[in-house]
Structure 1
Amino acid sequence: MAESRPRLDIGTMFDMARRTTTPTPDEEFEERIVDIDVSAEMRASYLEYAYSVIYQRALPDARDGLKPVQRRILYSMSELGLRPDRGHVKSSRVVGEVMGKYHPHGDGAIYDALVRMAQPFSMRLPLIDGHGNFGSPDDSPAAMRYTEARLAPAAMLMVQSIDEETVDFRPNYDGQETEPSVMPSAFPNLLVNGTTGIAVGMATNMAPHNLSEVVAAARHLIRHPDATLDELMRFVPGPDLPTGGSIIGLQGVRDAYESGRGTFRMRARATVENVTPRRKGIVVTELPYNVGPERVVTKIKELVNAKKLTGIADLKDLTDRHKGLQLVIEIKNGFNPEAVLDELYRLTPMEETFGINNVALVEGQPRTLGLRELLSVYVEHRIDVVRRRSAFRRRKREERLHLVDGLIIALLNIDEVIRVIRTSDDSSQARARLIETFSLSEIQANYILDTPLRRLTRYDKLELDREKETLQAEIDELTAILSSEDRLRTVVSGELAEVAKTYSTPRRTVLLESADVVRTAAVPLEVADDPCLVLLSSTGLLARTTDASPLGGEGERAQHDVLVSVVRATIRGEVGAVTSEGRMIRVSVVDLPALPPSANPPTLAGGHPVSEYVTLEPGEHVVGLGGIDLDGPGLAIGTAQGVVKRVVPEYPANRDEFEVIGLREGDTVVGAVELTSADHDLVFITSDAQMLRYPASQVRPQGRPAGGMAGIRLEGDARVIWFGSVDPSLEARVVTVAGSATALAGTQTGAGKVSDYADFPAKGRATGGVRAQRFLKGEDTLLLAWAGPAPAKAVSSTGKPVPLPEEIGRRDGSGVRLLHGVAAVGGALGAGPGYTGSAHAEGADGAASPSDGTPDEQSEATQIF
Structure 2
Amino acid sequence: MAAARTESIPEGHGRIEDVDVSAEMQDSFLEYAYSVIYSRALPDARDGLKPVQRRILFQMADMGLRPDRGHVKSARVVGEVMGKLHPHGDSAIYDALVRLAQPFALRVPLVDGHGNFGSLDDGPAAARYTEARLAPAALALTENLDEDVVDFIPNYDGQFQQPDVLPAAFPNLLVNGTTGIAVGMATNMAPHNLIEVVAAAIHLLDNPDASTADLMQFVPGPDLPGGGIIVGLDGIREAYETGRGTFRTRAKVSVESLGPRRTGLVVTELPYMVGAERVIEKIKDAVNAKKLTGIADLNDLTDRNHGLRLVIGIKTGFDPNAVLEQLYRLTPLEDSFGINNVALVDGQPQTLGLKPLLRVYLDHRLSVVTRRSSFRLARKQERLHLVEGLLIAILDIDEVIQVIRASDDGEQARTKLMSVFDLSQPQAEYILELRLRRLTRFSRIELETERDALKKEIADLEALLGSDVLLRAQVARELDATAETFGTPRRTLLLNGGPVTPRSRAAAPADLQIADAPCRVFLTATGRLVRAELAPTESADGSGDVTGGVVAPTRRSKHDGIRSAVDATTRGDLGAVTTAGRLVRFSPVDLPSVPANSVQPAAGTRADQYLALPSGEHVVAIVPLSGEIIALGTAQGTVKRVATSELPPGKHEVEIIALKPGDRVVGAGLAPDDDDLVFVTSDAQLLRFGADAVRPQGRAAGGMAGIRLSTGAEVIAFQPAPRDERTVVVTVAGSSQAIAGTDPGSAKVSSFDEFPAKGRATGGVRAQRFVKGEDVLTLAWVGVEPRALAADGAVRQLPAPGAKRDASGQPLEAVVAAVGTVIG
Q: TM over 0.5: same fold?
A: yes
CA distance in 2, matches of 1:521, 1:148: 48
Displacement of 1:308 in angstroms is 1.1
Name which of 163, 166, 170 aligns with 1:180: 163
Mapped to 1, the partners of 2:101 and 2:208 lie a distance apart of 34
Q: Among 394, 397, 401, which residue is 2:377 paired with?
A: 394
Return the match for 2:261 from 278, 296, 306.
278
Question: Are positions 1:120 and 2:87 aligned together?
Answer: no
- Contact 1:340/1:521 (<8 A) preserved: no
Structure 2 equivalent of residue 215 of structure 1: 198
Aligned-partner residue type, residue 292 of structure 1: G
Counterpart mapping for 1:150-169 below 5 A: 150-169=133-152
1:38, distance to aligned residue in structure 2 (A)? 2.0
Partner of 2:318: 335
Return the match for 2:413 from 425, 430, 445.
430
**Cα offset, 1:451, TM superposition:** 1.1
Paired residue for 2:281?
Answer: 298
Q: Is there any run of 5+ residues in structure 1 with no aligned partner, and where?
A: 1-8, 523-865
TM-score by length of 1: 0.57
Question: Which residue number in structure 2 is paired with residue 385 of structure 1?
Answer: 368
Task: Choose from 129, 138, 146 the match for 2:129.
Answer: 146
| CA distance in 2 between partners of 1:93 and 1:33 (Å) | 46
CA shift in 2, pair 1:516/1:237, >3 Å: closer
- What is the aligned partner in structure 1 of residue 434 from structure 2? 451
The aligned counterpart of 1:646 is none
Once residues 147 and 125 of structure 1 are traced to their aligned partners in structure 2, the CA distance between those partners, rounded to angstroms, is 20
C-alpha displacement of 1:261: 0.4
What's the counterpart of residue 244 of structure 1?
Answer: 227
Q: Distance in 2 between matches of 1:333 and 1:70?
A: 52
Report if the CA contact (8 A) 2:249-2:271 is conserved: yes
> In the alignment, is residue 67 of structure 1 matched against residue 50 of structure 2?
yes
| Match in the other structure for 1:780 | none
**2:492 equivalent to 1:509:** yes
Paired residues of 2:3 and 2:21 also in contact (CA < 8 A): no
Equivalent of 2:118, from 123, 135, 139?
135
Query: Any conservation in 2 of the 1:339–1:521 contact (CA below 8 Å)?
Result: no
2:299 alignment partner in structure 1:
316
Q: 1:98 to 1:152 in 2, by over 3 A?
A: same
The SS at the match of 1:35 is strand
The one-letter code sitting in structure 2 at the alignment partner of 1:334 is G
> Does the CA-based 8 Å contact 1:124-1:192 persist in structure 2?
yes
Aligned residues: 504
Whole-angstrom distance in 2 between the partners of 1:114 and 1:333: 48
The residue aligned with 2:338 is 355
The answer on 1:421 being equivalent to 2:400 is no
> What amino acid maps onto 1:301 in structure 2?
K
The residue that corresponds to 2:214 in the other structure is 231
Check whether the contact 1:167–1:181 (CA below 8 A) recurs between aligned residues: yes
Runs of 4+ in 1 over 6 A off after TM superposition: 9-12, 515-518
- The 3 A distance-change label for structure 1 pair 468 and 132 is same
What's the CA shift for 1:37? 2.2
Amino acid at match of 1:59: L
Do structure 1's residue 496 and structure 2's residue 463 form an aligned pair?
no
Aligned to 1:100: 83
The amino acid that maps onto 1:98 is V
Cα distance change on mapping 1:409 and 1:55 into 2, 3 Å? same
The share of aligned pairs that are identical, in percent, is 66
1:41 counterpart (24, 27, 30):
24
Distance 1:516 1:281 in 2: 29
Q: Is the 8 A contact 1:191 1:214 kept in 2?
A: yes
Matched, 1:442 2:425: yes
Deviation at 1:11, TM superposition (A): 7.0
Separation in 1, partners of 2:508, 2:260? 25
- Asked whether the equivalents of residues 253 and 263 of structure 1 are also in contact (C-alpha less than 8 Å), the reply is yes
Q: How many angstroms apart in 1 are the aligned matches of 2:215 and 2:351?
A: 18
How far apart are the structure 2 equivalents of 1:187 and 1:286?
Answer: 27
Change (3 A) 1:429 1:225: same
What is the deviation of 1:275? 1.4
Aligned counterparts of 1:306 and 1:61: Cα–Cα separation in 2:
46
AA at the equivalent of 1:430: A
> Residues 647-678 of structure 1, C-alpha deviation per residue, up to 9 Å, x if partnerless?
xxxxxxxxxxxxxxxxxxxxxxxxxxxxxxxx
Query: Any idea what SS the aligned residue of 2:293 has?
Result: coil
- What is residue 716 of structure 2 aligned with on the other side? none
C-alpha distance in structure 1 between counterparts of 2:101 and 2:259, whole Å: 38
Going from structure 1 to structure 2, the CA distance change for 1:235 and 1:487 (only over 3 Å counts) comes to: same
**TM-score between the two structures when normalised by the length of structure 2:** 0.60
1:217-269 C-alpha deviation (Å, 9 max, x unpaired): 00001001111111111101100000111111110000000000000000000
Q: Please provide the CA RMSD for this pair.
A: 2.0
Structure 1 match to 2:69 = 86
User: Residue 256 of structure 2 aligns to a residue in which SS?
Assistant: strand
**Mapping 1:535-684, distance limit 5 Å:** none
Gaps in structure 2 of 5+ consecutive residues: 510-824
Using the TM superposition, give the Cα deviation of residue 311 of structure 1 relative to its aligned residue in structure 2, in angstroms. 0.6
In 2: Cα distance, 1:408 partner to 1:222 partner: 44
Structure 2 residue identity aligned to 1:404: V
**1:476 aligned to 2:459?**
yes
Distance in 2 of aligned mates of 1:10 and 1:92: 46
Q: String of CA shifts for 1:763-814, please: whole Å, max 9, x gaps.
A: xxxxxxxxxxxxxxxxxxxxxxxxxxxxxxxxxxxxxxxxxxxxxxxxxxxx
By how many angstroms is 1:33 displaced?
Answer: 4.4
Relative to 1, partners in 2 of residues 1:10 and 1:257: Cα closer, same or farther, differing over 3 Å?
Answer: closer
Say yes or no: does 1:466 pair with 2:453.
no
Summarize deviations over 1:395-450 as a string: whole Å, max 9, x none: 01001111111111110110000000001011110000000001111111111101
C-alpha change, 1:231 and 1:10, in structure 2 (3 Å) is: closer
Report the Cα distance in structure 2 between the residues aligned to 1:193 and 1:447, rounded to whole angstroms.
48
Aligned residue runs from structure 1 range 258-277, under 5 A: 258-277=241-260
Q: Is the partner of 1:390 in helix, strand or coil?
A: helix
Is contact 2:48-2:174 (8 Å) kept?
Answer: yes
Deviation at 1:105, TM superposition (A): 0.4
2: distance between equivalents of 1:253 and 1:430? 72
Q: Paired residue for 2:586? A: none
- Number of the residue aligned with 2:807: none
1:277 Cα offset (Å): 2.3
1:168–1:180 CA contact under 8 A, matched in 2: yes
Q: Kindly provide the amino acid, as one letter, of the partner of residue 455 in structure 2.
A: Q
Q: Which residue of 2 aligns with 1:57?
A: 40
Match of 1:373 in 2: 356
Q: Does 1:204 align with 2:187?
A: yes
Show CA shifts across 1:522-557 (max 9, x none). 9xxxxxxxxxxxxxxxxxxxxxxxxxxxxxxxxxxx
Give how far 1:515 is off.
Answer: 6.9
Equivalent residues of 2:178, 2:189 under 8 A apart: yes
Counterparts of 1:726-745 in structure 2, within 5 Å, are: none
Q: Does the 8 Å CA contact 2:234/2:499 hold for their aligned counterparts?
A: no
Partner amino acid, structure 1, of 2:177: G
Q: CA deviation at 1:35?
A: 3.3
CA contact 2:142–2:167 (8 Å) conserved in 1: yes
- Map of 2:813 onto structure 1: none
In 1, Cα distance between equivalents of 2:87 and 2:49:
18
1:6-65 per-residue CA deviation (whole Å, 9 max, x = no partner) reads xxx9979x78xx8xx8x62xx64x655443322222211111110100000000000000
Supply the distance in 2 between the matched residues of 1:156 and 1:90 (Cα, whole angstroms): 20
Give the distance between the partners of 1:276 and 1:242, measured in 2 at CA: 32
Q: Is the Cα–Cα contact under 8 Å of residues 233 and 498 in structure 2 kept in the other structure? A: no
